[in-house]
């Protein structure tokens, strides 16, 4: 085996070790979900009334950690593949699928849908 091939193998192994060491946890996913819900509230379309947005925003400000903990602990399934994890949360007949690679979370589904459903559930 030549030096180039060996170098490529060493770099790939280093990347794999780095990804395995930074594989996101359920707590990190909870923090991501809380941030995503807050951002979704800010971008919520104008079909929702101002009153609905205020209720949801107040709920998340005062009880956000409890709501996120409830969602993450009881409604989320984490599939750990070593180098990355797949998080699936099912709430209000809505499925949110997120892939976590290192410190990055990549939503496969739309997180804003959960915010709309939460607003409908609250009213």
pLDDT at 79: 92
Rounded (5°) CA angle 42-122-108: 50
pLDDT tens digits, one per residue of 43-79: 655 555 667 667 766 776 676 667 777 767 778 889 9
Pairing relation of β-strands 85-91 and 76-80?
antiparallel
Select the more confidently predicted residue: 23 or 91.
Answer: 23
Question: Which has the higher per-residue pLDDT, 13 or 40?
Answer: 13
**Mean pLDDT of all residues belonging to the chain:** 76
Total structural domains in the chain? Answer: 1
Predicted confidence at residue 86, as pLDDT, reads: 93
Q: Is residue 76 part of a domain?
A: yes
Q: Does residue 51 lie within any of the structural domains? A: yes
Q: Say whether pLDDT at 118 is over 60.
A: no
Surface-to-core class of residue 53, CB atoms within 10 Å of its CB (0-12 exposed, 13-18 middle, 19+ buried): middle
pLDDT at 16 over 80: yes
Is 2 domain-assigned? no
Q: Does residue 110 lie within any of the structural domains?
A: yes
Tell me the average pLDDT across 119-123.
Answer: 48
Host domain of residue 75? 23-122
């Amino acid at each position: 085996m030549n030096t180039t091939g060996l170098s490529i193998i060493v770099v790939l192994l280093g990347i794999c070790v780095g990804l395995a060491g930074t594989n996101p946890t359920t707590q990190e996913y909870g923090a991501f979900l809380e941030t995503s819900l807050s951002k979704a509230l800010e971008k919520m379309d104008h079909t929702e009334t101002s009153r609905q947005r205020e209720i949801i925003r107040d709920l998340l400000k005062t009880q956000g950690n409890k709501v996120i903990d409830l969602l993450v602990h009881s409604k989320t399934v984490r599939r750990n593949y070593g180098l990355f994890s797949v998080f699936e949360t099912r709430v209000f007949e809505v499925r949110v699928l997120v892939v976590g690679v290192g410190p990055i979370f990549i939503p496969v589904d739309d997180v804003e849908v959960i915010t709309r459903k939460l607003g409908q559930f609250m009213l």
